Amino acid sequence: MQKPAPPVHIVRPTRADARRNFDRLVETADALFVAQGTDVSFDEIARSAGVGSGTLYRHFPTRNALMTAVFWGRVEEQCAEAERLLDGPSADEALTTWLGKLIELTMRRGLAQALTAGRQDDASALFAACREALEQAAAPLLRRAQEEGTFREDLALSDLMAFAHTIALVAGHSEQGAAHAAQLLELLVSGLRRRNAAESG
């Protein structure tokens, strides 16, 4: 599976030491955004990453640039997970597991909301790139599950992604959160599986 291409405004350095700093800053910012919100200071991010503030600003001159890199990093991880799961023994389990992780990612709305509050053109381009990358990652998982006869053959990829997005939106506003998302995903997958017993009978 081809690695998704980042949006053009995410520029990763080619030099090894600069790339390490870039990755460390993205990883640190992601953790701090989750723990403290997207308003955490750049100084704290740099300090926690073990680099100077100047290094942070060289890679990410604006907060939006850093948030964009963090968001894209999550999408890349989700795509890589699809490739790992594709080699597993069960197509059904692989697709279900990946959908659960996608829903979990989508439920972390704080970063997406902060990006949307910035320049609309930039946010739209980023989300379009993310959607395309995630759909490309999901397609082989769905195709394998359909070929093995565990998921309905008439299930379109766009519909599957829409179902996952809807679950994330509903569960994200629920007091049960992740537990509610897991329950809804189980109900969804049960409905999308082929009724093998009835068809084979």
Q: How does pLDDT run across 31-41, given as a tens digit for each residue? A: 999 889 889 99
CB atoms within 10 A of CB 94: 22
* Res 19: pLDDT: 92
Residues belonging to the chain: 201
Domains and CATH numbers, the chain: 16-195 (1.10.357.10)
Cα 87 to its chain centre, rounded Å, is: 20
pLDDT of 109 strictly over 70:
no
198 or 12, greater pLDDT? 12
The owner of tokens 């030099």 is 15
pLDDT of 200 strictly over 50:
no
The owner of tokens 């053959």 is 153
169 or 114, greater pLDDT? 169
Structure tokens at 16: 């090894």
In this prediction, residue 126 has a pLDDT band, given cuts at 50, 70 and 90, of confident
Nearest to 101 by CA among 158, 178, 32: 178
